[in-house]
Structure 1
Amino acid sequence: MPELARSAHPVASSICRNCGNRGHGHFCQECGQSYATHRISFPHLLHEVFHLFTHLDKGFLYTLKELIRLPGDMQREYLAGQRYRHQKPFSMFFVAITVTALGQYFIKALVFKLYGMSDDSQDYFRHYFSLMQMALLPLYAFITWLFFRKSEYNYAEIAVLVLYSLSLVIFVVLLLNISRLLFPNFETEYIELPFIVAYNTITYFRLFPADSRWLIVSKSLLINTACFALSHVAAELVVHLLEK
């Protein structure tokens, strides 16, 4: 009888504000959006930011954790179709360059305030590093693809690999530059460059297991050398244009 009573009063259906589909439950069966939507407010935005940076089971921090813990394996899983729990590559990269650009700005301002130091030779790096990496990304991907063009991955898939790896590298660069607040003359490049080479080499080991270790190391050194040279030339060119 209780079940008959409940069936006599069916649950009201909801209309999805995204696609217009009518259905029951909490989420639209057509597009997956929640039926419960509310007006966006400042607390809502704060909640979204908090959610982005505090959920380790999926999304941004989960992807960052996997990039640190399983370089190469994480990218291979994403390329194989296991994508639900991972932050999408472009959004991951844009979050990385945005946070790093803001961080570099404040680090430079604090170093100047604490020590009265303003190194003009480093000014380009502090202001334009993130933007330059974004501009050079297609070329980084092309260089990497040239060395692994005989693998199962096409250019677009290699670009995804580079997006994820570069996202982590950019964060590491930011963390290393925080040390300048205590050691303003510290040259972080002496740590950054070995880290980048080592991280990319480990990534290639796991992503291309069919290649020999020595071949991977050789390709990694050549790829990183080419990318460093490209970055250096681009930096010199931009500085030269800005000085005119």
Structure 2
Amino acid sequence: MQPNHCANCDEPIAATPRFCPACGQKTNLHRLTLKDVLHDGFHYFTHADKGIVQLVKALATKPGVVAREYIAGKRKKYFPPLNFFLLVAALFLFAATVTHRDRQMIETRDSVTAGVTGNMTLSEKKLQAQQIVRQRSNEAYRYLARYTNYVAMLAVPYISLIVWVMYRRSGYNYTEHLTANLYLVGFTNLVHCLVVTPLMYFTRPYVNMMIFTVLFALFEIFYRTVFYYRFINDPIKQGLTKTIVKSAIAVLAWFALIFVFMAVFIAMGFIKQQ
């Protein structure tokens, strides 16, 4: 027998509908089974209309189009941008926690402590300074890895503001650029988690980590260029060269912020040694 009210939103319903006209939940419910839970989870990620798998595929094959269509009104077609970004941020945090190594930081700290003496030669002071830089750099990386979710949450509004200023004549407001960058940064962070982080982990210390940083920065510039060229979708006003330059500025602005943070963190280490 059909209920008189929806079990989810308590909306009065007739006996004939299969779904509640207010919230869309099924009217004919039964007790939960393990099959129901697994089906809902699988459906959440792979639904043909707006599953996360379909979203990742769309972001890889047609960058910029997803954000443009979502902002234009196709909200049911795609996985929500904030949900996608938060899921990737959680994966990013997990990857950073699993792959981070504390051994190098501990060894560097011990070497710095051992090298501090009252009277040091110029070469000894130079060596100590190098040790402090390595120590503070490792500690800064550890801090960023521990709070990567907060860093990511700050990164998107910061980059979106810069992009909004550069594309202020595009017709999109700040919130719409923020939405686009939730998709964009979420996808590039996903690539970092699934490709770059494992490569960095398994090739250390044989490959300089700076190589991966530069390669990933180039990938970000390339992807952001394609993404925004298709997102703006106006080749007359927005040439490809201009898009490349603006994409490079956006990526370098983020690296500049990280550099400033690292520089301040290292400087504080020198102050503590005084």
Shorter-chain TM-score: which interval?
0.7 to 0.9
Aligned residues: 229
CA–CA separation in structure 2 for the residues paired with 1:40 and 1:232: 51
**1:205 aligned partner:** 229
CA–CA separation in structure 2 for the residues paired with 1:130 and 1:239: 22
Question: Unaligned stretches of 5+ in structure 1?
Answer: 1-10
Q: Find the partner of 1:132 among 151, 161, 166.
A: 151
* Matched-pair contact (CA < 8 Å) for 1:136–1:231: no
Matched, 1:146 2:165: yes
CA–CA separation in structure 2 for the residues paired with 1:238 and 1:134: 20
CA–CA separation in structure 1 for the residues paired with 2:26 and 2:269: 49
| CA shift in 2, pair 1:44/1:104, >3 Å | farther
**1:231 aligned partner:** 258
**1:3 aligned partner:** none
| CA shift in 2, pair 1:239/1:93, >3 Å | farther
| CA shift in 2, pair 1:45/1:179, >3 Å | farther
CA–CA separation in structure 2 for the residues paired with 1:164 and 1:147: 19
Partner secondary structure for residue 132 of structure 1: helix
Tell me how far 1:105 sits from its aligned partner.
Answer: 1.1
Q: Find the partner of 2:185 among 144, 163, 166.
A: 166
- Residue identity over aligned pairs, in percent, reads 27
CA–CA separation in structure 1 for the residues paired with 2:31 and 2:59: 35
* Matched-pair contact (CA < 8 Å) for 1:144–1:223: yes
**1:69 aligned partner:** 61
* Relative contact order higher in (CA < 8 Å, ≥ 6 apart): 2
**2:129 aligned partner:** none
CA–CA separation in structure 2 for the residues paired with 1:157 and 1:235: 31
More moved, 137-146 vs 35-44: 35-44
Matched, 1:51 2:43: yes
More moved, 36-45 vs 158-167: 36-45
**1:25 aligned partner:** 17
Tell me how far 1:141 sits from its aligned partner.
Answer: 1.0
Question: Unaligned stretches of 5+ in structure 2?
Answer: 107-134
| CA shift in 2, pair 1:137/1:62, >3 Å | same
| CA shift in 2, pair 1:30/1:74, >3 Å | same
More moved, 200-209 vs 12-21: 12-21
| CA shift in 2, pair 1:45/1:200, >3 Å | same
Matched, 1:93 2:77: no
Amino acid at match of 1:129: T
Amino acid at match of 1:19: C
CA–CA separation in structure 2 for the residues paired with 1:36 and 1:134: 41
Amino acid at match of 2:154: A
Tell me how far 1:72 sits from its aligned partner.
Answer: 0.6
RMSD: 3.0
CA–CA separation in structure 2 for the residues paired with 1:102 and 1:18: 34
Amino acid at match of 2:22: E
Tell me how far 1:60 sits from its aligned partner.
Answer: 1.4
Amino acid at match of 2:223: Y
* Matched-pair contact (CA < 8 Å) for 1:52–1:61: no
CA–CA separation in structure 1 for the residues paired with 2:66 and 2:82: 15
CA–CA separation in structure 1 for the residues paired with 2:33 and 2:258: 41
| CA shift in 2, pair 1:118/1:57, >3 Å | farther
CA–CA separation in structure 2 for the residues paired with 1:237 and 1:26: 61
| CA shift in 2, pair 1:39/1:239, >3 Å | farther
**1:4 aligned partner:** none
CA–CA separation in structure 2 for the residues paired with 1:40 and 1:240: 57
